[in-house]
Amino acid sequence: MNPSVLGGGAALLVALAWLITRRRPVAVLRSTDASAVAALNRAQITQVQELTGVDPEEALPSIAEPSEDFAFPAASDARGRAALVQALSLQLQGTTPERLEAITRAAGWGDRVALPLLQRGLRDVDPEVVLAASTGMARFRGRTPGHEAVAKTNPMPLPRNAAALT
């Protein structure tokens, strides 16, 4: 027999073996409805509320001002902002009350420079620090500041196919 026919036959057998043994994705049924899971979650939340008598939204701590009188640097004071970030990052290496105070200060500051500190707080071992960091990050969610100015600088939308206009 011709060696090319043998090679072609071997390639065909390998391809067939691969097609037969490969994993097929599990088909998601159209009847799968997540509303039942959501209803179960809501029912469990109401049971917890009835047993404990505490609303989960009210149980979250509010971001309070730092415990001592503390003045945050102005937005134009780059040196003061850098010093505050460095002091807070050093404080994040301390004990649990020190870390909680640092996260509270960073959240109370409300500057975007504090975001890395709050992200470090999300990975803390103490759940109170993690909760304070996640609550502090709430003000940074959503649209970025200044998005109105960007929209006003480009009032006309770009054409659908800019290359065809040249």
- Alpha-helical runs (H) found in the chain: 3-21, 35-52, 56-59, 78-91, 96-109, 115-122, 127-136, 147-153
Residue 74 CA to residue 92 CA, distance in Å, equals: 22
Query: What are 94-143's pLDDT values in tens digits?
Result: 898 999 999 999 888 888 888 999 999 999 998 899 999 988 888 888 76
pTM: 0.48
Residues 141-158: tens digit of each pLDDT: 876 665 555 556 656 666
Residues with Cβ within 8 Å of 123's Cβ and at least 6 positions away in sequence, in order, are: 130
- Structure confidence at residue 156 (pLDDT): 67
Cα separations (Å) of 80 from 21, 74, 90, 118?
64, 8, 15, 19
Q: What is the pLDDT of residue 78?
A: 81
Give per-residue pLDDT as tens, 1-49: 677 788 888 899 899 888 888 877 776 666 666 777 778 888 888 887 7
Contacts of 145 by beta carbon, 8 Å cutoff, 6+ apart: none
The per-residue pLDDT for 98 is 92
Which residues, including other chains, have CB under 8 Å from residue 132's CB and lie 6 or more apart?
61, 63, 100, 103, 104, 107, 121
Are 70 and 105 contacting, i.e. CB atoms less than 8 angstroms apart? Answer: yes
